[in-house]
Structure 1
Amino acid sequence: MGAAPQSDGRGYGYKAAVAGLVPLLAGCQGSLSTLDPAGPSASLVAGLWWAMLIGAGLITAFVLILLAVAWRRPEGKGADERVWTLGLGVGFVMTVLVALVGYGFWVGERILPRDDGAVRVTAEARQWGWTFTQPGPDGALLETRDVLYVPAGVPFDIEITATDVIHSFWVPRLGGKMDAVPGRVNVARLMADAPGEHEGLCAEFCGIGHSVMRFTVVVYEPGAFPDLTVSGGDDE
């Protein structure tokens, strides 16, 4: 009888590694995932996240390579210690960090609101809900609670404030966070690429009802404002 093939365990290790990655990859999508952008601002934020991940990976890999080289190098041989420390260690790390910081400033400048005729919306936070004021179907201002209506493909500036404590406005698939501070107005620029619904939430702990302080952004085709008598979105 022939001997049964022996396994060195590498196949099991590979399968285990793949199985461990599946839950991580599943977290890259979803209604609250910043890695599944649905607008230009969110795409910039996601790009910055990936750039930081790649930069951290490059630094980690470089350090591990240096450790391996130093470990295998014969004693008494090799470059001067200052070359390794300054020329490679400090120089490479600083190059990557400066590039990441520069890219971060560039992203921040790109998502700043500009005075170019964007749709103006106000968001007022309170414990534990949101009140939005936006242009309605006839152009008149419309106030809604916990539901924001915006047209697709059109930039909109959200003037964010609060009436009691500090909150934070965040729609992960449309852009970054912006604090809602009592007595102060902060402005965030967002835009949705296509019609649909996106979940938003308060990203700053604000009390016992913080976990339920959520809202919905309804994105509609320009010129096709939803019928609120059917959707029930206007609950003034």
Structure 2
Amino acid sequence: MCRPAKYHSGWRVALQAGSLAALSGCAGPLSTLEPSGPAAASIAGLWWVMLAGSAILFALVLVLFLLTVFRPGWGSRVSPARWIVLGGLVLPAVILIPLICYALYAGELLMPLRAHAPARVEAIAQQWHWTFRYPDQGGVETGNVLHLPAGMPVDVVVTSKDVVHAFWIPRFAGKIDAVPGHHTLLRIQANQPGQYFGQCNEFCGIGHAQMRFTVIVDRPEDFDAAVRNAAATGEVNK
């Protein structure tokens, strides 16, 4: 008996809408899958590799399930102990071991290659605001606007004045916590000049959703002047 055309049309629309919603999460100003720096590229690469590995593992398990459903008794010659070893140990290991090796490799790419980055910025969190201080530029400060030089690693020293926050620029690197009384270090690098966005990624109270900041990546030769000009004009992103 044929199903109504409306039934198939409904499923088609639902599938297209679901695919669109899933793909829309792969881009945007806060997307980790649209990297603009080496650390973010390593994180995004790890995500895609893990996705592919999990899809392969799921497909293998699905094949076994379908064989069991449509060909009853096909695996009856295999002992239960062998099923446990092959299906519970060997099958996952074929996928998981390479994934672990790649994860360790990707993690190494996030480690600093030099003892100290040429630039240093202090990020100070406070409900619900970010203050950025530039020691190399005389200690000048900007509010909710972070300036970075393009193509150069920068050590961001993160701390908090009140509760635990988190510093995160998805297109540059992973997040790091801002802990009161402690200083945590995150090395980031932006590939190209432009405007980007960051946010607090740790719930910190009723104003958490608005605790965002703008990142302006300047050309290296313009960085010092841009920071001093921003501080002099009181550049603040509200």
**TM-score, length-normalised on structure 1?**
0.85
1:97 to partner: Cα distance = 2.5
Q: Distance in 2 between matches of 1:93 and 1:189?
A: 35
- Give the structure with the higher percent helix: 2
> Aligned-residue CA RMSD in angstroms?
2.6
Identity over aligned residues, as a percent?
Answer: 41
Unaligned runs of 5+ in 1: 1-5
Q: Report the count of equivalent residues.
A: 228
Change (3 A) 1:231 1:37: farther
Question: Deviation above 6 Å: which 4+ runs of structure 1?
Answer: 9-12
Structure 1 distance, partners of 2:125, 2:15, is 44
- Distance 1:106-1:135 versus aligned 2 partners, 3 A rule: same
Change (3 A) 1:62 1:176: same
Question: Aligned partners of 2:151, 2:10: CA distance in 1, in Å?
Answer: 48
Letter in 2 for 1:215: F
Which one is further off, 121-130 or 81-90?
81-90
* Residue range with higher mean Cα deviation, 151-160 or 112-121: 112-121
Which residue matches 1:88? Answer: 87
Given that 2:117 and 2:155 are in contact with CA atoms closer than 8 Å, whether structure 1 keeps it comes out as: no
Q: How many Å apart are 1:67 and its aligned residue? A: 1.1
- 1:60 Cα offset (Å): 1.1
- The question of whether the paired residues in 1 share the 8 Å contact of 2:142 and 2:234 is answered with no
Q: Secondary structure at the match of 2:61?
A: helix
Q: Residues 132 and 192 from structure 1, CA distance in 2 versus in 1: closer, same or farther, beyond 3 angstroms?
A: same
Distance in 2 separating the partners of 1:217 and 1:41:
16
Amino acid across the alignment from 1:177: K
1:21 pairs, out of 16, 19, 22, with 19
Deviations 1:24-69 (A, max 9, x none): 1122110111111111111111111112211221121111111112
- Alpha-carbon displacement from aligned partner over 1:194-218 (angstroms, at most 9, x marks no partner): 0011111000011111111111111
Shift of 1:231: 7.5
TM-superposed deviation, 1:172: 0.7
Instruction: Output the amino acid matched with 2:82.
Output: V
Shift of 1:115: 1.0
Identify which of 65, 68, 86 aligns with 1:67: 65
Which residue of 1 is the match for residue 119 of structure 2?
A: 119
Given the superposition, is the C-alpha separation of residues 129 and 24 from structure 1 closer, same or farther in structure 2, using an over 3 Å criterion?
same
Deviations 1:179-201 (A, max 9, x none): 00111111111111100111110
CA–CA distance in 1 between the matches of 2:108 and 2:40? 14
Residue number in structure 1 paired with 2:235 = 233
How far residue 229 of structure 1 moved from its aligned partner, in angstroms, is 7.8
Separation in 2, partners of 1:199, 1:118: 23
The answer to whether 1:40 aligns with 2:38 is yes
**8 Å contact kept, 2:141–2:231:** no
* Kept in 2: contact 1:153–1:193 (CA 8 A): yes
Stretches of structure 2 lacking an aligned partner (at least 5 in a row) = none
What is the alpha-carbon distance in structure 2 between the residues aligned to residue 12 and residue 196 of structure 1?
42
